[in-house]
Amino acid sequence: MALKDLQEWLYGCTHCGTCKDVLNIFSPACPAGEKYQLESYFPSGKMLIARGVANGVLNLDDDDTRERIYACTGCLSCEQQCGVYHHQHIFETVQALRSEAVTQGNLNPAYMVMVESLKKDDNVFGKAKAERGDWAKDLKIKDAAKEKTDVVYHAGCMLSFDPELWEIPRSAIKLLEAAGIDAGIMGAEESCCGGRAYEIGYDGEFTKYAEHFIETFNSLGAGKVITSCSDGYSTFKKLYPKMNIEMKFDTLHTAEYLDVLIKDKKLKFTKKVPLKVTYHDPCHLGRHLGESGIYDSPRNVLKSIPGIELVEMERNRENAWCCGAGAGVSQANPDFALWTANERLKEAQSTGATALVTSCPWCVRNFRDAVKKYGENIEIYDIAEIACKAL
C-alpha cells in the first residue's frame, strides 16, 4: 500500500516503548533497535520517519533516512508486542516507505543485483534460470511441468541456488516418497514467488510474479503446493490472496504436511536420532500469519522422532527473536543479519541444546553463517533434514 494510503496508521504510535521488549519477560524484541541502539531504528522511530516523509519534512534521498528504513528484518515482533490500534501496520508502513523510495528512484544499490536478476533469470541470486532444478538432478522425481501430480514441491530461490542447502529439498522429497505421495517439481520452470521483491519495495515485480505463479499453478491441476521456504509460504498465504485471483490449490509448509502425514500414519519414523534440540520459529511461518501461525506442527514432528529431546528457548512461538535474514537484510546488511542470528544462537545454547532446528532456508543459511563468523558451538538443521534421519 502507498504511504499516502496509510495516513490513518501513522499517528497511532504513542512512543510508549512497549515494543522494545517481549511483554512480561522483558527480553529484547526488535533486532534493529537493539543492534543500533538509537531511537530512529526502533519501530517508534520508524513511525516518526514515516510521518516525516508523508509530510515532506524528511526526504528519501537522504542516506541516513534510507539506512533506517532498510534496517528492519520485517520480523513483526513489534506488531506482536504493541497494543495500540495501529499495531498491525508497522511493517506495512516500513514496506510503504521502501516502495516510496523505489517510486522516487532513490534506490538501494545493495538490491540492484537482486532486482536485475529477477528481471532476467526469475531468481534473487543472480544465477542462471536453467540451473534452478539442479538440486534434484539425480533424483527420480516427476516433472510437474510435463505431467500431472497430486502435489507440487516448490523449492524457492534459496533452496534452488545454494548447494550447501540442497539436502533440505532432497530430504523433503525423500519424506514425500516414503509417505507414498505422488509429487513432482517444476525444475527450471519454477520461478521466484516475488515475496522478497515486495518486502524491499518493488511492488510491480511482486505483482508480476504473483500473477504468473497463481496462473501457472492453477493450470497444473495439482491440489497441493508444498514448500520448505517460510518466506514463500507466507507469500502464498498472506500476499497472494490480496491479488483477487482464484487460487485452485492449497499451500502447505513441509512442517505442516509432515505433521499431517504422521497423524494419518502414512509416515513412520524407525531410526533413533539422539539429539537435544531447540526449535526456532521463523517469523514468516509464525507472526506473519497472525492467528494461523504454524507453531505446533514442527514441534509435533520433532516429538514424533525417536530419541529427540525438545527444549524451548525463552523467546518462542509468537515471541521468538528473529534470525536476522528477513526483508532483504541478509543481502543488504549482512553484519546486522549475522549479529541478530548470533543473539539467537546464544539463547539456543543457553537451553543446553546441541542443535537448533528451524523450518526456513533463510534462517538455516543465516544461522550457519553466524556459527562460522561467531563460533557458537551448535548444529543447525531444517526440520526435513532431521525428519529424514529418522526414516
Q: Report the residue number, 93 or 191, with the smaller CB distance to ligand SF4.
A: 93
| Residue 236 CB, nearest approach to ligand SF4 (Å) | 21
| Residue 164 CB, nearest approach to ligand SF4 (Å) | 26
| Residue 94 CB, nearest approach to ligand SF4 (Å) | 6
Q: CA-CA distance, 379 to 238, in Å (whole number)?
A: 31
Residues that bind ligand SF4 (CB under 6 A): 13-19, 29-32, 43-44, 46, 72-78, 82, 84, 87, 90-91
| Residue 303 CB, nearest approach to ligand SF4 (Å) | 29
**Cβ-based neighbour number of residue 112 at 10 Å:** 10
Q: CA-CA distance, 232 to 129, in Å (whole number)?
A: 18
Q: CA-CA distance, 200 to 325, in Å (whole number)?
A: 13
Q: Report the residue number, 154 or 315, with the smaller CB distance to ligand SF4.
A: 315
Written as nine digits, the cell of 305 is 522422532
Helix (H, G, I), strand (E, B) or coil at 54: helix
| Residue 273 CB, nearest approach to ligand SF4 (Å) | 33
| Residue 46 CB, nearest approach to ligand SF4 (Å) | 6
| Residue 328 CB, nearest approach to ligand SF4 (Å) | 12
Q: Report the residue number, 73 or 117, with the smaller CB distance to ligand SF4.
A: 73
Residue 365 to residues 55, 200, 373, Cα–Cα distance (Å): 39, 19, 12
Q: Report the residue number, 46 or 237, with the smaller CB distance to ligand SF4.
A: 46
Q: CA-CA distance, 47 to 40, in Å (whole number)?
A: 9
Q: Report the residue number, 199 or 369, with the smaller CB distance to ligand SF4.
A: 199
**Cβ-based neighbour number of residue 377 at 10 Å:** 8
Q: Report the residue number, 32 or 305, with the smaller CB distance to ligand SF4.
A: 32
Report which residue type is found at 246. E
Q: CA-CA distance, 96 to 80, in Å (whole number)?
A: 19
| Residue 87 CB, nearest approach to ligand SF4 (Å) | 6
Q: CA-CA distance, 153 to 257, in Å (whole number)?
A: 11
Q: Report the residue number, 67 or 309, with the smaller CB distance to ligand SF4.
A: 67
Q: Report the residue number, 230 or 297, with the smaller CB distance to ligand SF4.
A: 230
Residues 163, 167, 172, 174, CA torsion sign: positive
Please give the distance of CA 300 from its chain centroid, rounded to a whole number.
Answer: 20
Q: CA-CA distance, 243 to 203, in Å (whole number)?
A: 12
Residue 168 to residues 87, 164, 351, Cα–Cα distance (Å): 35, 9, 25
